[in-house]
């Protein structure tokens, strides 16, 4: 794929091959709602999206985006840390979540001091694995270039590398060759 295509767009392209009408999905970092809206569009009115963010501003901005596109009815926005993901997602959806997106870091246009943190990110991605459908997918866009982002990215990489290749297909896409370049971790679960 063309290197100049953003990692977010690449994540969307990959997810397009996975998502079907009626699927249940999670946006673990809703931010300004671009990914939430993308997921809501793909799963349609019969599907559902759960979205998490620690910032009220992100919840409000995403709600307004969804309302203007008439997708508010099949999305639940949860104003909470994504490390509560397993508890917050109703048990009947555990094991059937088709896709979970993480786009880490800070809210673009918002307070850059409020960023995702290594411990809660790791807790959330570990729980996400258990929520996934047998053929589900997780995408994690990580930004080692900002303060705290380097350790967070390294910890994600360590977690990613220890996943069993028997059960998961892993792919790592770099936005450039720079050591601080954002990167996209893709984890595809499969049965055998
Ligand atoms: C890069 S933005 C997400 C962009 C978003 N997906 C979009 O399409 O606009 C990162 C978001 O993660 C949120 N965030 C940071 N730590 C979080 C946490 N522990 N739980 C949930 N959201 C968190 C931030 O508040 C911010 O809104």
CB of 103 closer than 6 angstroms to any ligand 1 atom: yes
CB of 32 closer than 6 angstroms to any ligand 1 atom: yes
Are residues 60 and 36 in contact, defined by beta-carbon separation less than 8 angstroms? no
Q: Quick one: which atom of ligand 1 is closest to the CA of 141?
A: 1
3-state SS, one letter per residue, for 22-72: CCEEEECCCCCCHHHHHHHHHHCCCCEEEEEECCHHHHHHHHHHHHHCCCH
Name the residue range of residue 164's domain.
7-189
Indicate whether 1 belongs to any domain. Answer: no
Strand spans (E) along the chain: 24-27, 48-53, 75-79, 97-103, 132-142, 168-174, 183-189
Are residues 25 and 43 in contact, defined by beta-carbon separation less than 8 angstroms? yes
Indicate whether 83 belongs to any domain. Answer: yes
Indicate whether 95 belongs to any domain. Answer: yes
Indicate whether 2 belongs to any domain. Answer: no
Are residues 24 and 97 in contact, defined by beta-carbon separation less than 8 angstroms? yes
d(CA 169, CA 19): 17
Count of domains observed in the chain: 1
Residue having the nearest C-alpha atom to atom 17 of ligand 1: 116
Indicate whether 19 belongs to any domain. Answer: yes
Q: What is the pTM of this model?
A: 0.97
Q: Quick check: helix, strand or coil at residue 6?
A: coil
What pLDDT is attached to residue 147? 87
> What residues does 102 pair with on adjacent strands?
140
* pLDDT under 50: residue ranges of the chain: 1-3
Phi/psi of residue 54, nearest 5 degrees: -80, -10
Phi/psi of residue 113, nearest 5 degrees: -80, -20
CATH number at residue 108: 3.40.50.150
What pLDDT is attached to residue 139? 98
What pLDDT is attached to residue 5? 85
What pLDDT is attached to residue 115? 92
């Amino acid at each position: 794929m063309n290197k100049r295509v953003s990692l977010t767009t690449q994540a969307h392209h990959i997810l397009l091959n996975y998502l079907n009408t009626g699927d249940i999905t999670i946006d673990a970092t809703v931010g300004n709602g671009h990914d939430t809206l993308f997921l809501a569009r793909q799963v349609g009115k019969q599907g559902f999206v759960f979205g998490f963010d620690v910032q009220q501003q992100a919840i409000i901005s995403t709600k307004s985006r969804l309302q203007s596109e008439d997708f508010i009815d099949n999305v639940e926005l949860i104003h909470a840390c994504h490390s509560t993901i397993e508890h917050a997602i109703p048990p009947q959806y555990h094991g059937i979540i088709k896709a979970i997106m993480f786009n880490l870091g800070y809210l673009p246009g918002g307070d850059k001091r409020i960023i995702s943190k290594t411990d809660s990110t790791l807790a959330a991605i570990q729980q996400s694995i258990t929520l996934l459908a047998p053929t589900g997918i997780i995408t994690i866009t990580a930004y080692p270039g900002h303060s705290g982002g380097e350790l967070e990215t390294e910890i994600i990489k360590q977690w990613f590398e220890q996943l069993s290749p028997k059960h998961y297909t892993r792919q790592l896409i770099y936005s450039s060759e720079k050591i601080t370049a954002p990167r996209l971790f893709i984890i595809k679960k499969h049965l055998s």
